[in-house]
């Protein structure tokens, strides 16, 4: 059992929290009430960032002390949204939210994952007709191994997980969000994920 804090109680955070709780972890979900995120992060071993990506950096930097020594799993995409609410551009072109988080939180082990799919696939990867891929980006091998364990609890088989390397590789995974509006407009709001076929 791992003590996990999920920051964000929307569709993404709620789905991750329910599934990880069902897998036997002790999960606390932080809502937007004052102090909730700090209280949740303070007692957790692993913190999952499921807050809207455009404001994630500011929110998490404010939790620097609570996140010290922790694993921060970042599943958000920092985007500039268009009039329809869908991603229109990257907030950090040429970089990534994960890189900015790691730079701002040097005592926290940031791992980027699960941001290249519709949120429903995060906890039900086997529901797709073809095998999806979950990517890992981060500097710390032990942190990435711990995240692999969480992915297994979410239904991801190990051969579906690809370690891209250091945190700078997150910029490639985060850029995949630019597919999202086109995929949704083309095929509707149906589950999908980026997949690497070999």
Strand partners, 79: 90
Closest CA to 17 of 6, 7, 8, 1: 6
- pTM for the whole structure: 0.96
| Tens digits of residue pLDDT in 80-92 | 999 998 999 999 9
> What would the two tokens of residue 136 be?
């890992």
Q: What is the pLDDT of residues 13-47, one digit of tens each?
A: 999 999 999 999 999 999 888 899 999 999 999 99
Longest dimension (CA), the chain: 47
């Amino acid at each position: 059992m791992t003590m996990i804090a999920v920051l964000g109680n929307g569709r993404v955070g709620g789905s991750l929290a329910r599934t990880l709780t069902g897998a036997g972890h002790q999960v606390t979900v932080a809502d937007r009430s004052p102090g909730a995120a700090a209280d949740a992060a303070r007692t957790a071993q692993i913190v999952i960032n499921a807050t809207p990506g455009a404001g994630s950096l500011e929110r998490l930097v404010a939790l620097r002390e609570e996140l010290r020594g922790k694993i921060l799993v970042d599943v958000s995409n920092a985007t500039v949204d268009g009039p329809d609410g869908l991603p229109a551009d990257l907030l950090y072109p040429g970089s990534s939210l994960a890189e900015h988080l790691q730079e701002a939180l040097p005592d926290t082990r940031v791992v980027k994952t699960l941001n290249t799919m519709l949120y429903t696939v995060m906890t039900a990867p086997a529901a797709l007709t073809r095998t999806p891929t979950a990517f890992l980006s981060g500097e710390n091998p032990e942190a990435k191994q711990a995240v692999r364990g969480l992915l297994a609890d979410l239904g991801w088989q190990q051969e579906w997980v690809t370690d891209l390397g250091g945190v700078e590789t997150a910029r490639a995974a985060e850029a995949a969000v630019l597919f999202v509006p086109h995929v949704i407009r083309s095929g509707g709001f149906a589950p999908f994920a980026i997949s690497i076929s070999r």
